Amino acid sequence: MVIVRSILLFLVLFALWLLLSGHYTPLITSFGIISCAFCVWMSSRISSHDDEGLPLHLLAGLPVYVLWLVWQIIVSNLLTIKTIFTNDVSPSMFRVKAGKMSEAGLVLYANSITLTPGTVTVKIMRGGLLVHALTTAMADDVKSDEMGKKIRKIDREVK
């Protein structure tokens, strides 16, 4: 299984490298292959080919979730702009229960909250998150657990 994960990690890294590089000459491409192979080798040396280091169980539902998250980021941007112009700020700190999800799912949840403007995950705690929100409406949106439900749906490895 480690070999399969190593090959998959190499393919993902190299595809990302090709996408971001934009240079496809033999010399530059060979540098990309060498650097991606080096990263995979270093990753195997520190034994990060586990479910946390390469959460394959999240890949199936991730594309639909990413599209939904991009929409949420757009909506949150507009709400944050409105909040800035109206000066209607009512910041709050609160805890959100994450429910049953893997560590990779919990990190995805925390990062998703932070990516949406107006909310920041301050701390990941056992079983939940400490979140700061710019307004009460933003806090209520996080507390509604819509994002958590979507992540738990794609997170197939429930403890």
For 37, the domain range is 2-45
Would you state the pLDDT for residue 47? 75
CATH code at 117?
Answer: 3.30.1370
Would you state the pLDDT for residue 83? 94
What is the C-alpha separation between 101 and 56, in angstroms, rounded?
A: 14
Same domain, 68 and 146: yes
Q: Could you give the number of structural domains in the chain?
A: 2
Residue 97: alpha-carbon gap to chain centroid? 18
Give me 16's structure tokens. 């990302």
Decide if 86 is inside a domain.
yes
Decide if 115 is inside a domain.
yes
Question: Which residues sit opposite 119 in a β-bridge?
Answer: 133
Decide if 90 is inside a domain.
yes
Helices 136-143 and 62-86, packing angle to 10 deg: 160
Same domain, 29 and 61: no
124-151: pLDDT as tens digits: 988 799 999 999 999 999 999 999 999 9
Does 158 score more than 70 pLDDT? no
Same domain, 63 and 100: yes
Same domain, 27 and 64: no
Does 5 score more than 90 pLDDT? no
Give the residue-averaged pLDDT of 24-31.
Answer: 93
Same domain, 108 and 143: yes
Q: Is the pTM of this model over 0.85?
A: no
Classify residue 99 as exposed, middle or buried by CB count within 10 Å of its CB (0-12, 13-18, 19+).
middle
Q: What are phi and psi of 35, to 5 degrees?
A: -70, -40
Per-residue burial over 41-54, b = 16 or more CB atoms within 10 Å of its CB, e = otherwise: eebbeeeebeeeeb
Same domain, 63 and 129: yes
Decide if 126 is inside a domain.
yes
What is the C-alpha separation between 144 and 96, in angstroms, rounded?
A: 9
Are the beta carbons of 142 and 133 closer than 8 angstroms? yes
What is the C-alpha separation between 13 and 54, in angstroms, rounded?
A: 12
Same domain, 38 and 61: no
29-83: pLDDT as tens digits: 999 999 999 999 998 888 766 655 566 666 667 888 899 999 999 999 999 999 9
Would you state the pLDDT for residue 30? 95
